[in-house]
Amino acid sequence: MNKAGNINRLSLAEEQSIFRILDASANRCREGLRVIEEFVRFHQEDEQNVRNIKTIRHQFSQVCLELDLEQAIQARDTPGDVGTKITLPTEMSRLSLQDLVRANCSRVGEALRTLEEYSKLIAVEVPAQIEKIRYQFYSIEKQLLTDNSLQSRLETSQIYFLISGESCTGEGSVEENFEAVAREAIAAGVDLIQLREKNISDRQLLKRARLLREWTRETQTLLIINDRPDIALLCEADGIHVGQDELPVEEVRKIVGQKMLIGVSTHNLAQAKEAVADGANYLGVGPVFSSQTKEFKQLAGIELVKQIATEIRIPWFAIGGINCSNVSKLAAISVKRVAVSQVLCKAGNIATTVTNLKNSFELEGTLSEQTSSK
């Protein structure tokens, strides 16, 4: 009887084979977790998920202690293990990082299930602990393997355009001006366009959202809906954006599912870290400068941008009063993405304005490279 408490009558041979199975599965689980942790740590640079995986590894170590796997090590017979001589060609290659992660997620999940089943023969409480760890890991696996094509597009995005009907100027009606500005901005290559309406009916909101979806569907511009998960779903948007007073990320995720992007407005470092921990795909950070679109009692300013640049690894957009005159100040401190509104809504030539904004990043990047090479 081992320390875990034997509840079955097992022969010595049976007990030895069970411990060999537990030993092999524990090793597979530890190895797989470490491979995944390194991916999350060095490729994704996701502090929260690194912490989650470390927690699982710690919990798993405690389970191994309860299973008394010292006996398993004594039962180990690597030269006599027939499985070590069988290797499939697919095990010797990985097609991509995602393929590598998928393979090791399967490795961990299968190992945990094996441990859970065989530990039922020798332990009382341990199988339930392993089951809990297994379900915790499945949540991480789901996040790692969920289609991330939209997330990848965020990584290379630069210009995020916030639009409303009342902010669009022109000689036509509100609807005509809205269409003209939106279409021109999309054609000019804005990476994201957010429908941000506060003063229209739900029916009008849904109509504009569906129009934006129609205009962006065959383009590289992502469609984001402000505050309204229901409207985002109905118009088949790419994402939803919420503020500090709206629904939290975890509740929005229950509504829109796993594939839709969720962005969060943040005004200090604590809010930014909380949004990342909650599973936000990107952040809005600001306000950096005084804005004509929205009034704030206090500006977050350049200092917050510098903090965020140092500590946050998911994509984020500086926002608040940004225009062609001050965007270089942000580019100079390595800001890569900005959210704008009035500078495009009231632009005489939207395409030229978008080009000027993007050129500010490219120019500053060139200057930084030249400086570092001297």
Q: Choose the final residue of a domain: 110, 145, 180.
A: 145
Q: Which of 298, 251, 308, 323 is nearest to 276 (CA)?
A: 308
Residue 268 lies in a domain: yes
> Are 340 and 225 in the same domain?
yes
Domain end: 100, 127, 145, which one? 145
Choose among 222, 224, 241, 243: nearest CA to 156.
222
Write down the pLDDT at residue 82.
53
Q: Give residues with Cβ within 8 angstroms of 89, minimum separation 6.
A: none
Same domain, 210 and 100: no
DSSP state of 82: G
Helix ranges restricted to H, 191-236: 202-216, 229-234
Q: How high is the pLDDT of residue 84? A: 55
Give 123's contacts (C-beta < 8 A, 6+ positions apart): 4, 5, 7, 66, 67
- With beta carbons less than 8 A apart as the criterion, state whether 134 and 145 touch: no
* Whether residue 115 is found in the same domain as residue 159: no
pLDDT reported for residue 72: 61
Q: Of the residues 126, 145, 164, which one is the last residue of a structural domain?
A: 145
Report the distance separating Cα 187 and Cα 182, nearest Å: 9
Q: Check whether residue 231 and residue 349 sit in a common domain.
A: yes
**Two structure tokens written together for 183:** 């279409």
In the chain, the N- to C-terminal Cα span, in Å, equals 70
Q: Is residue 5 part of a domain?
A: no
290 and 336, same domain (yes or no): yes
Task: Single out the residue of 118, 100, 92, 102 nearest to residue 26, CA to CA.
Answer: 118
pLDDT of the residue at 151 = 82
306 and 162 part of one domain: yes
Q: Which residues contact 152 (CB under 8 A, 6 or more apart)?
A: none
- Are 252 and 312 members of one domain? yes
Predicted pLDDT of residue 10:
79
- DSSP per residue over 28-68, as a string? HHHHHHHHHHHIIIIII--HHHHHHHHHHHHHHHHHHHHTT
C-alpha distances out from residue 198 to 170, 290, 293, Å: 20, 20, 12
110/225 same-domain check: no
Say if residue 179 is in the same domain as residue 128. no
Query: What's the gap between Cα 125 and its chain centre?
Result: 35
Q: Are 186 and 53 contained in the same domain?
A: no
In this structure, the answer to whether residues 42 and 71 fall within a common structural domain is: yes
Kindly state the tokens that stand for 62. 């405690």
159/130 same-domain check: no
Decide if 306 is inside a domain: yes
pTM assigned to the model: 0.65
The answer to the question of residue 34 being in a domain is yes
3-state secondary structure of 285: strand
Is 331 within the bounds of a domain?
yes
CB 305 within 8 A of CB 324: no
CATH assignment at residue 357: 3.20.20.70
Q: What pLDDT is attached to residue 90?
A: 54
Q: b/e map of 319-345 (b: 16 or more CB within 10 Å)? A: bbbbbeeebebbbeeebbbbbbbbbbb
- Give yes or no for a contact between 193 and 164, defined as CB atoms under 8 angstroms apart: no
Q: What is the mean pLDDT of each run of 10 residues along the chain (374 residues)?
A: 53 86 94 95 85 94 86 63 55 75 94 96 90 93 77 90 93 95 97 96 98 96 97 97 95 90 96 92 94 67 93 93 93 92 93 94 57 46
* Alpha carbon separation from 137 to 31, 241, 293 (Å, rounded): 14, 28, 43
* CB burial string 90-122: b at 16+ within 10 A, e below: eeeeeeeeeebbbebbebbbebbebbbebbebb
Mean pLDDT, all residues of the chain: 87
Among 335, 233, 216, which Cα is nearest to 286's?
335
Considering the domain boundaries, does residue 36 fall inside one? yes
Whether residue 4 lies inside any domain: the answer is no
Tokens of 275: 């949004």
CATH code assigned at 136: 1.20.1260
CA distance linking residue 230 with residue 236, whole number of Å: 10
**Structural element, H or E, at residue 271:** helix 269-278
Q: How far is CA 342 from the centre of its chain?
A: 29
Q: Domain count of the chain? A: 2
Task: Print the domain residue range for 191.
Answer: 150-373
Domain assignment present for residue 7? The answer is: no
